[in-house]
Amino acid sequence: MKKIGYLRVSTVEQRPDRQVDALSKHCDELHVEKASAATLKRPIFELVLKSLEPGSELIILDLDRAFRSVVDAVQTIENLRQRDVSLKIVNLNIDTNTPSGMLIYTVIASIAQFERELASQRTKEGLAAARVRGKRLGRPEKLSKKDICFITKKIETRTMTLTALGDLYGMAPSSISRAIKRHQAHP
């Protein structure tokens, strides 16, 4: 059984020494990636996943070193299980190759998913409460009412085009059109 270690640091300035020291004694080979977990493409991780053969083991130090979210972890682990590849998380002492390891992993993943959903629910409730209090959410308007009146007058008198007005305000003409429509709907 081949034991492949994957470790990741978020920036090129960070050193993987802690992970290398912890994983070296468990792995036949190590693959280091220097990329944020939020990065959509992690070529080393993708290469490691593709290279895993049936009966091999993917070894990581911590759950967050390999996975962006619980959903990502669960999907990846299920894909690995279908390919007869197990996962070992050293710092949590979890080995998905054993029934108890899979149970513990599933419980931890479920709790983490529950916490993520609670945080999402709290955020939505907070946003709803802010709206009820009349708070405007999102990015501040780029154009003031005075700007929109000026733009509307220039368009009506045909003294400036939407493109020229866009250049003047540093906006796309379509953004100016939407701002005018919003102003007309909610003066």
10, 24, 144, 174: the catalytic one is 10
Using a 10 angstrom Cβ sphere, with 0-12 exposed, 13-18 middle and 19 or more buried, the burial of residue 20 is middle
- List helix spans (H) across 62-144: 70-82, 99-132
Residue 77's contacts (CB-CB under 8 Å, 6 or more residues apart) are: 87, 96, 105
100 catalytic? Reply is no
- Measured CA to CA, the distance from residue 71 to residue 124 in angstroms comes to 20
Residue positions annotated with a catalytic role: 10
